[in-house]
Structure formats: C-alpha cells, structure tokens
Structure 1
Amino acid sequence: MTSDHELIRDGFWVFGYGSLMWNPGFEFLERHPARLMGYSRSFCMWSIHHRGTPEVPGLVLALDEDAAGQCQGLGFHIGPEVAEQALADLRERELVSSAYLEREVILHVDDGRRQRALAYVVDPDHDQYTGALSLERQAEVIAGACGGRGPNCDYLFSTAMHLSELGMEDPELTELSELVRHHIQLHR
C-alpha cells in the first residue's frame, strides 16, 4: 500500500461508486468514468450516522468483494496541493465507524489507463455488514431511515440518477428506487 506521505506528496486517485460521485467533497484535477473489477456495489451496510441512526439504521452502498463482480463509477484524481486535506476529509467521512476498509485498488479508466486508487470497501466482519438483503427488505429500510446527512431515500435516488446520467444505469438501483417510492406512498 502506498504510504500517506506518498499520497500527499504525489496526489492520489479515489474511486467513487455512491455519494462520492455526486458529492465528492474535495477538489480534483480529473474525473473519469472507471470500472473496478472484483467488487460489486450493493446496499450491504447499515448506516447509523449519515443515513440512519443507531435506533433506526439506514442502508448505504458498499463495495463487497466478489471475484466475478465489477462496479462502474468515477475515478477522481486529487492533486498534491489538496491531497493532505482531501485524504483527511475522506477518512473522516468514510471511516467514521470502521465498517469501511481503505484499500488500494486498480481502476480501469475509460481512456484505457489502469490507475492505482483508494477505494472504501465494506468489512464483512463488521457488525454493520448486512450481507445480502432482499430488494424488498432494502426498500423498507431505505424508505423509513434518516440520518445526519438526510433521508436514506435521497441517497439512493441521487446515486441512481447520477449513474443514469453518466450512462452507467444500475438496474438493481433503478428497481430499488421504484420499490422505495412505492413504500413512501403507502406510508403517507
């Protein structure tokens, strides 16, 4: 793994597959569509801070190891002049409860480059890891949860919309969005 000193000195890349795509929270030099092999994106992590509470947890997306999987998202190149602050901000945001692990991965960038990058992946041994939940169960949770960064459904809707706008529509997230809208209408 690249040392923090090297990341700060040289700048670094980070892979966004959820809210980082539409709310990165850092300055970047480049942003490109990218694919990460060996992982799948899913709502497999309880959110007790940003999109839920300990009493009413929500769900957030995480990268789960999957030998046959791949995930489309965005690769962000962060320059050395802002790397120290960006790294600190990313760690504060993503490592708030230790449910994510910071990993160095290889991104397949749309321009043909293979680029080393940081990615935040779920720790399957952490108690916030849900494993595979049915879409119906995910919809129930997401429709009713809200945390420090707002309603859980807004996180889902924004991610699905941005993926679609980027030409990376995720059929499972599209279907889940419809289920969540249905749950919200039923409980008004």
Structure 2
Amino acid sequence: MADDFLLTRAFIEAGGIDALVAQEAPDLQCWSEAERAASLHCFMQNRPPGDVWLFGYGSLIWNPTIHNTERRVARIEGWHRAFCLSTRAGRGSADNPGLVLGLEPGGDCVGVALRIEEASAVAELTLLWRREMLTGAYVPHWVDLLDEHGVRFGIGIAFTVNPEGDHYAGDLPEAEIVRRLATAAGSLGSSADYLFRTCDGLRLHGVEDAELERLARDVRAEQAKLSGGASG
C-alpha cells in the first residue's frame, strides 16, 4: 500500500505536491507560487475580526499538516460535503481517476475547526494554500462556525468546490462514485482509504456522518465483490 502520510508538512514545503502532479498528470495546469500568494492576499483582504480558524471536513480532519492551537467540532450552514472532485494524481490515476471531498451548496456540514495562532497565521496559510489551491479546484470562503447549540464561536476558512473547474465531478451517478472510491489509488494512497480515514476522524471527535458511513459500507461491499470476482 502507498504511504498514506506522504502528504506531510515537509513534503508540501519542499514543493512535493507540485512535483507529484507534474509526474503523474503532466497535462494539469497548476497554479504558480505567485498565483497562490495573490489568491491568499486577496482572500485575506476580507478577513473578519477575530481568530483565524480553518474548517476541516475531509483529510484536514485527520491530516491537517498545519500547526493549530485548538480543535473544536463545528457545524457550518449552507454547504454540505460530497465526493465531487476528480483527481488523477495522489489518490487516483489517469486511467482510473479517484475522488476526494469538496463542499457543495445546500444543507449543512459537521466537521472540525482548527484555530491557527495569530503569530504564525501567514506561514500556516501559505502552506495551506500550497496544499489546497493547487489548481484552483477549490474556492475559499469565510463561514460561520457553530457549536453543538448552534451558537457561533468563530469564523473559519472553508474550501468549497469550484463547479466551473476542470476537476468538478458533482454529477456522477452513485454507482460510479462507489466504483471510483473502491478502485482508484495513487501515490498518496487510495480513494477508499481517504473515505475510511475521514469517517474514522469524525468518529474520533464524536461525530458520525450517516451518509459517509453508508457510502463506506457500499465501498467495502464493492471491494469485497471485486476481490471475490478476482479470486473466483
């Protein structure tokens, strides 16, 4: 199995993600450092007052790679997580693209909010932009972070999916989502492991996402069926 924690802080700082994409999907147009810096600068022009928080809803829950001083379960409104982003590198390939999570409009989402220390905010967000704003597949937004009582305790950064982007895959039928998650893999691990780790990470924080858990069961069943077919 591929090293699921190859996506480390040091790996990102060394430009490893860009090199990985250049090798595995050379036709993908990645943003330059200057473009990411400009994006971050523009985004922070509208920073609300208070602490800087990051809303994690997928791999940022179990592998944030940024330094944070506090973790809190949080709910956001107006967005829901979905496997709507296709990837041909990292957790998929050109022949069998994988899927990772994005936030789509509508509903709500429970995840984990990470507070970033003010003194290191610039450095941490620069690292975060290298990781998340690789190709412009995400659009960052400021979102209200709500506690279990529905009371806002902060405003955080949430990476929503860009529906106009080349990697958007929000219209896939359920069977194809399950197939991709069950079979796609790349140098950072499998799409299935990404799903399973997200379920585990949420449960560790006392959160159980019924839709994700159902999808995980379907993916495991699909893997078992494929494994049985191969051996039979």
Normalising by structure 2, what TM-score? 0.72
Partners of 2:65 and 2:188 in 1: CA distance: 13
- Between Structure 1 and Structure 2, the one with more helix by share is 2
2:147 counterpart residue number: 109
Q: Tell me, which stretches of 5 or more residues in structure 1 are unaligned?
A: none
In the TM superposition, residue 53 of structure 1 has moved relative to its aligned partner by 2.4
Partners of 2:51 and 2:144 in 1: CA distance: 16
- 1:3 correspondence with 2:44: yes
In the TM superposition, residue 5 of structure 1 has moved relative to its aligned partner by 10
In the TM superposition, residue 175 of structure 1 has moved relative to its aligned partner by 1.2
Partners of 2:86 and 2:47 in 1: CA distance: 32
The answer as to whether partners of 2:144 and 2:152 remain within 8 angstroms in 1 is no
2:180 counterpart residue number: 141
The answer as to whether partners of 2:91 and 2:184 remain within 8 angstroms in 1 is yes
Equivalent runs, 1:78-117 vs 2, <5 Å:
78-110=116-148, 112-117=151-156
2:28 counterpart residue number: none
Partners of 2:46 and 2:124 in 1: CA distance: 13
Q: How many residues align?
A: 184
Aligned equivalent of 2:210, options 151, 171, 179:
171
1:154 counterpart residue number: 193
In the TM superposition, residue 54 of structure 1 has moved relative to its aligned partner by 3.1
- Between Structure 1 and Structure 2, the one with more strand by share is 1
Alignment RMSD: 2.2
User: Which is further off, 96-105 or 10-19?
Assistant: 10-19
Aligned equivalent of 1:119, options 155, 158, 172:
158
Bigger radius of gyration? 2
- 1:44 correspondence with 2:84: yes
Partners of 1:119 and 1:6 in 2: CA distance: 13
Partners of 1:52 and 1:31 in 2: CA distance: 30
SS at the partner of 1:187?
helix
The answer as to whether partners of 1:64 and 1:122 remain within 8 angstroms in 2 is yes
Q: Tell me, which stretches of 5 or more residues in structure 2 are unaligned?
A: 1-41, 228-232
SS at the partner of 2:94?
coil
Post-superposition Cα deviations, 1:128-179, rounded to whole Å, max 9, x if no partner, equal: 1112433322110011111232111110001012222322211111111111
2:5 counterpart residue number: none
Partners of 2:43 and 2:86 in 1: CA distance: 29
1:77 counterpart residue number: 115
How many percent identity over aligned positions? 35
The answer as to whether partners of 1:11 and 1:83 remain within 8 angstroms in 2 is no
